[in-house]
């Protein structure tokens, strides 16, 4: 068995342990541990929102990755803590709400590119393998849209705008571009 397989296995174990460690820290509610994980986990997520808001005319004007503790009482009457890890304020309209809300899904593209090309640029050694899995963890863990992200995406009837846009693009392709190709015009 190749020695490097052991390090790939260790990388997978690292991902699982990071996820478990993060969840246990968040349940205990220590501010500095939450800030550390909030920084590494929130920064790419919020940068994705900010970038898409900028590209779609949302004029992002607020950016925060400082975690805030939100106490609440659950249905059983138990006092719990909810964490707000970060936020981006932007002008959300019918044409950019879905894109801004679902922006973290683009981080999956970063994970795919890392998975595909990482070892073309980095050595295949133990430290590089563990770094590879940590980078994948950060991209994939941050790509999950939050409940608030889904609310933003569903606001302003943005889904209807994109559905109409996709429908027009499909009709244009089917009836205009294909006809031009068949006639030799393109």
Q: Give Cα separations from 19 to 6, 109, 130, 170 (angstroms).
A: 20, 21, 15, 41
For 178, half-sphere exposure in the C-beta direction (CA atoms, 13 angstrom radius) is 7
Rounded distance between C-alpha atoms, residue 164 and residue 142, angstroms? 29
Using an 8 Å Cβ cutoff, are 104 and 45 in contact? yes
Residue 137 has what pLDDT?
A: 87
Residue 87 has what pLDDT?
A: 79
pTM of the complete model beyond 0.75? no
In sequence order, what are the beta bridge partners of 87?
64
Average pLDDT for the chain: 81
In our burial notation (b when 16+ CB lie closer than 10 A, e otherwise), range 156-166 reads: bebeebbeeee
Taking Cα atoms as reference points, which of 113, 120, 111 lies closest to residue 140?
A: 111
pLDDT digits (tens, 9 = 90+) for 65-113: 777 777 778 788 888 777 677 778 888 888 888 888 889 999 989 989 9
Residue 121 has what pLDDT?
A: 92
């Amino acid at each position: 068995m190749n020695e490097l397989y052991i390090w790939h296995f260790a990388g997978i174990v690292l991902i699982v342990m990071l996820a478990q460690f993060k969840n246990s820290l968040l349940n205990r509610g220590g501010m500095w541990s939450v800030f550390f994980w909030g920084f590494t986990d929130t920064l790419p997520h919020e940068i994705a929102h900010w970038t898409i808001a900028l590209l779609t005319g949302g004029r992002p004007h607020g950016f925060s990755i400082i975690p805030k503790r939100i106490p609440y009482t659950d249905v059983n009457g138990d006092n719990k803590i909810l964490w707000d890890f970060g936020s981006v304020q932007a002008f959300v309209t019918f044409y950019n709400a879905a894109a801004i809300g679902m922006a973290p899904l683009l981080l999956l593209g970063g994970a795919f590119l890392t998975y595909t090309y990482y070892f073309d640029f980095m050595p295949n050694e133990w430290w590089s393998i563990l770094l590879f899995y940590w980078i994948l963890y950060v991209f994939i863990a941050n790509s999950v849209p939050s409940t608030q992200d889904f609310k933003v995406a569903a606001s302003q009837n943005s889904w209807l705008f994109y559905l109409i846009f996709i429908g027009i693009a499909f009709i244009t392709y089917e009836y205009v571009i294909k006809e031009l190709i068949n006639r030799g015009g393109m």
